[in-house]
Amino acid sequence: MKNPRLTCDTVWPQIASQWRKKQIPKGPTLKPMSRKLQSSCAVPAVRFRRNLLHWFDGHKRDLPWRKNPSPYHTWISEIMLQQTRVSAVLGYYERFMHRFPTVQKLAAARQSSVLAAWSGLGYYRRARMLHAAAKVVAYERSGRFPATAAEQRALPGIGPYTSAAIASIAFGEPVAAVDGNVERLLQRLFGKRINGGELWRVAQDLLSRTRPGDFNQAMMELGATLCLPRRPRCHLCPISSMCVTRGELGHARHPIRQSRRDIRYALDWRKESVFLVKRDKAAALMPGMWELPEMSANASGDPCLTIRHSITVTDYRVHVIRCELPAGAAGRWVQNSQITRLPLTGLTRKILRAAKVI
């Protein structure tokens, strides 16, 4: 007997229903650049594109997702790169693609397996939305990834930037992609604080229609390697002669002050097994992830190791206490060989590596 057709409503009803209740985000409506901005922006677009693309052709980094810019490879890399440095993504990307080489493999996997492969990259909602989107593509679209940025924004976890990046790189759609690097580059280029829709219009006006994917990657590459936040390397920049500021634009916002907090975790490690607990599925942060038992601030015991860990605006000093937990403690023993198959929190993975458990 053949299996009934799998649909979004039968395979993942909760995610699908919640997602469909939301209004699908629209991309920026790209109107012509305002006259006020045009009058103060004397950037020769043709020369700008030529210089930028010539530099990119000779200096682009050798990144694994660029070797095969298929929609699937591009999509995975762009989701991983959200709020994460390229250097941190490289190893994860290779391992993820080895484990889930196709969208069908990703869609068929258990969510816990996807989270385990993602563990350490942080922002785990990205992985959950990636898994949900894979199911839509594999089961409702017969494995065909949407070709346009507008269609891609109907998928869970894909917004204006990600859809523009995928559509331009994998499908050649002439749509500009604006991330933090591109925003900083354009503001320095024009010597103005450009924001919102105006920023996207400026990017679209400069975009190369013949090589939109390479142009978008070149803009992001330039922002990530030369047009740096603090010490821009203007002497190496291919567009420095067209740049108004040639360096810092000035600080419009005060840096967010990091708060500091001390936390303690118990490490009970016996006979090649470690005691772990699972976060509640309804938890606001990292639901369903596995971690070491957290101890109260006044718990006794000397730390066997202390590490630093940062999450958004909080710097943690993490004290790990080697101890035996009382009988009946909530949680379970996990063999060392099985630990990495669980979706661990990034902090737990860091602790277990520092303690040489994994």
Residues with catalytic annotation? 78
Q: Which residues pair with 266 in a beta bridge?
A: 321
State how beta strands 259-267 and 294-295 pair. Answer: antiparallel
Question: Is 219 in contact with 185 (CB distance < 8 Å)?
Answer: yes
* Nearest C-alpha neighbor of 148 from the set 52, 196, 212: 212
Q: 71: Cβ–Cβ under 8 A, 6 or more apart, which residues?
A: 145, 147, 166, 170, 171
Task: Write out the DSSP string of 105-167.
Answer: HHHHS-HHHHHHHHTTS--THHHHHHHHHHHIIIIISTTPPPSSHHHHTTSTT--HHHHHHHH
User: Where do we find the tokens 């690097």?
Assistant: 181
**Sheet strands side by side (includes 303-311):** 294-295, 259-267, 314-322, 303-311
Helix, strand and coil in the chain, % to nearest 5: 45, 10, 40
Cα–Cα distance for residue pair 175/201, rounded to 1 Å: 10
